[in-house]
Structure 1
């Protein structure tokens, strides 16, 4: 990619397209990024995009990244091959709402936007806008469902230090975190959690609210989590098993 093209992409806020590199398992999509916080070269699989992300410290050469890629090419090939297939939000696709499977049905003549009825997510209007409308609907549902959980858990969270009420709730699309909590009391959740079962949602919300009191993973933090939710073990196991599938939806 030319520098001019890179600058244009940066202005739009869009990530650059992946670079295709020939590794042991064949052509592999790679995204390069530099981080001032990185101390060493690292790589990870981005399940949502189905690619490898290589992170370089500021003064580390691209050659160091290439060496790491080739050294771990077998692991990379296996991880990418194991990713669930991508499922687009199109007519007849199956999508879960709080763990309950629903089928997307297109009703072009209707005038109701998007609604849930009889185990279906029904979408009106032009098919060209169907995927965007389903995505907007799921984001809205995520804000409602997770926002309700935040309020419910906050109301019962006064264990001596006051209720755990965030300053703001943000719903985003992330590739590596289901939730986060900032030092200024803003909690963020992935909208994709709206597809997970209720106990998974409960655990992730409780986990992030606990960070309002403990911005670490100390024993005190985990003790607080245990008072807020009984679902830690079940949720962590479920996300390890099914999390990649959620990231491949849409």
Structure 2
């Protein structure tokens, strides 16, 4: 096994073959696994150098297998989780789990979308609750409830009664983006507006918030385009 460094790192399976006369790369359309076939007597250092030379091709091929807007998530495609692309791969057992650059999904192919969506929602609730608790404690305030929805008009909201609502698709964005949205909504517990005072609270909770805010404006639509059911 070799590792192509980067974000994310890509695992490369090395397979020696008596029939191989040269290095040959293959990316499986079933599970996104990258395999390098090499002659029996080839030096592993040469194989790793070849992998690094082909890094652009490998990442481009994996990117082309990503779930496109309107396409339903399935084995062999990839989707973002905490800002990193994971290849949806058949897994064993009962639970969906992350393993390196793969998201292992048990069950039949037709169940993949539903299972992945359920996994993302659980992870989103855990991380958004942690971020909301942390920011609320920083302000010495409490929120009344936390709910998740699949909203397209907004990433979060806060009611006058202190109820927080978030889009569960935030779990696919980089962690700092999710944290910014939590900080934004918790800030409304102190300032139920978008006045300069409100943005001062946001800055206290999440300094440099303009960067994740800009990320959402640029990439948010792509997250909404991912489908998990026919």
Q: Which TM-score applies when normalising by structure 2?
A: 0.66
Q: Does 1:234 align with 2:218?
A: no
Q: Does 1:117 align with 2:94?
A: no
Q: Which residue of 1 aligns with 2:72?
A: 88
- Give runs of ≥4 in structure 1 deviating > 6 Å: none
Q: Secondary structure at the match of 1:188?
A: strand
Equivalent positions of 1:11-90 (< 5 A) are 85-90=69-74
Equivalent positions of 1:1-250 (< 5 A) are 85-107=69-91, 110-157=92-139, 163-250=140-227
Aligned-pair distance for 1:149?
0.9
Alignment length (residue pairs): 160
- Work out whether residues 139 and 191 of structure 1, in 8 Å CA contact, stay in contact via their aligned partners in 2: yes
Counterparts of 1:164 and 1:238 in 2: how far apart (Å)?
Answer: 28
Unaligned runs of 5+ in 1: 1-83, 158-162
Aligned-pair distance for 1:145?
1.2
Counterparts of 1:209 and 1:233 in 2: how far apart (Å)?
Answer: 17
Aligned-pair distance for 1:194?
0.2
Give CA-to-partner distance per residue, 1:175-214, whole Å, 9 cap, x none. Answer: 1100000111110110010011111111110000011121
Give CA-to-partner distance per residue, 1:46-84, whole Å, 9 cap, x none. Answer: xxxxxxxxxxxxxxxxxxxxxxxxxxxxxxxxxxxxxx7
Once superposed, what is the RMSD of the aligned Cα atoms?
1.4
Q: Decide which moves more: 114-123 or 181-190.
A: 114-123
Counterparts of 1:142 and 1:85 in 2: how far apart (Å)?
Answer: 21
Counterparts of 1:164 and 1:246 in 2: how far apart (Å)?
Answer: 31
Give CA-to-partner distance per residue, 1:12-66, whole Å, 9 cap, x none. Answer: xxxxxxxxxxxxxxxxxxxxxxxxxxxxxxxxxxxxxxxxxxxxxxxxxxxxxxx
